[in-house]
Structure 1
């Protein structure tokens, strides 16, 4: 008997497959294949900014993330990574967590209190307008035989609610 199948994960229980494979696998072997989320939130008066990102590199067996807060001339950033295979279903790494509360409408981003930086937040982002997708970015190298970029992004605008941000200065 030939062939192999990726490991089963929770998403395999749903009727959302698009390739003949488990959700633990992607359709190509390129090591740079990644799913990412990047988020930026700011106070209306510009006094505070939050940055958040999460990446899942299936073909590298890596999950990484960053979360940071900037206030005036101060900035705190937490970066972390882990092995994907240790927990392939979770969208968290260390004190950084990303939760989908309602697809394409409500997400939650969390930076828990940690030993790295004296900052934490727990915010819910609510979409105020529908998501917008960019045109597909499809690039090839100079000889045009190798695809170097095949990417689709979408953008979502909204407002933030939550208990706020805690820093060493606000404790």
Structure 2
């Protein structure tokens, strides 16, 4: 089947772009977040395409005055991957690898128009490959880029322009990871599995800092890296290391959310440390991650759009659908020689199953 994408010189296989190999879990995704410089408002968006499931979905969510307002949308893809809209939510690539736009047309009390402009060239993270026995659980590539954000968001008639200095992060990932309905036949032999993930994209006045780690239940990292990207840096202008370590992590009682921690990043002149002070919790379920009814790639119908409001003061943070969060954090970067910089970013954490370094069993 030929689609609009086939008129662009982007083919990687002899097949039309509508077909993405043979793994039904292939996906292609956009993610965005942003936050005011005083941390009073946090927003995020996600847009996913699932070629073998023939589904696209999109989500937009904003934390405002203690409530997380969420807009979910899902539609049949009809194999047209160049149509970056799903109901009221639309993505536009204004300048590849530099400037993108998210628009939410008026729907269910929501409207928004936000431009995300990169602070440096995107970071290509190490390829994520993980198997459960012989079965590929994950095999994907991701680019990450810190951004400056301009525009506005409206919820229930209250429109707020994004404050000067609003920053955030965007990423793009594509490849294989679990999507849609869960596999009814688990890998054999069955073993005690677990998934540990931390991700900390941080914005400072003149640079960005990134750290991520995937680890097994014993704490052994299978994918990790830290990057420092000065503003305006090109693809060869980063400091990168696989030896950064997140230490002193304590958990909020009764949850799998971090109360804080310290990231140590080795540099040529010594070690830099970053102290995290989380103060706002964003539930990733608000943009479909782990949502019991709006999981990524789930079939909802030809086109379905729904609103969801979450009172963050009363929700049970110990529920399984709430273990995956982004905690907006104030951060302090201490450099060798005594220089100290203040910034802001997220401490994303997802711990599913046991993680022995933190004394955790199954959730």
- Structure 2, unmatched stretches of 5+, are 160-363
**Relative contact order: is structure 1 or structure 2 higher (C-alpha 8 Å, sep ≥ 6)?**
2
Aligned partner of 2:68 among 67, 71, 75:
75
Change (3 A) 1:169 1:9: closer
Tell me the CA shift for residue 84 of structure 1: 0.5
**Does the aligned pair in 2 maintain the 1:37–1:53 contact within 8 Å?**
yes
Task: Count residues with an aligned counterpart.
Answer: 159
- Relative to the length of structure 2, the TM-score reads 0.42
* Distance across 1 between alignment mates of 2:13 and 2:124: 22
Structure-2 residue corresponding to 1:30: 23
**Does the aligned pair in 2 maintain the 1:69–1:119 contact within 8 Å?**
no
Structure-1 residue corresponding to 2:147: 158
Tell me the CA shift for residue 135 of structure 1: 0.7
Q: Residues 80-159 of structure 1 correspond to what in structure 2 (within 5 A)? A: 80-85=73-78, 87-114=80-107, 116=108, 118-142=109-133, 145-159=134-148
**Does the aligned pair in 1 maintain the 2:3–2:79 contact within 8 Å?**
no
Give the secondary-structure state (helix, strand or coil) at the position aligned to 2:78: helix
List structure 1 segments (4+ residues) > 4 angstroms apart after TM superposition. Answer: none
* 1:170 and 2:163 aligned: no
- Structure 1, unmatched stretches of 5+, are 1-6
Tell me the CA shift for residue 97 of structure 1: 0.6
* Distance across 2 between alignment mates of 1:151 and 1:59: 16
CA RMSD in angstroms, aligned pairs only: 1.5
Higher gyration radius (CA):
2
Give the secondary-structure state (helix, strand or coil) at the position aligned to 2:93: strand
**Does the aligned pair in 1 maintain the 2:44–2:61 contact within 8 Å?**
yes
Q: Deviations over 1:126-148 (max 9, x none)?
A: 11111001111111223xx3222
Change (3 A) 1:33 1:44: same
* Distance across 2 between alignment mates of 1:112 and 1:129: 29
Change (3 A) 1:74 1:151: same
Aligned partner of 1:46 among 39, 56, 63:
39
* Distance across 2 between alignment mates of 1:141 and 1:75: 35
* Distance across 2 between alignment mates of 1:150 and 1:56: 16
* Distance across 2 between alignment mates of 1:156 and 1:75: 24
Aligned partner of 1:21 among 15, 18, 21:
15
* Distance across 1 between alignment mates of 2:37 and 2:99: 20
Tell me the CA shift for residue 60 of structure 1: 0.4
**Does the aligned pair in 1 maintain the 2:48–2:57 contact within 8 Å?**
yes
Structure number with higher strand proportion: 2
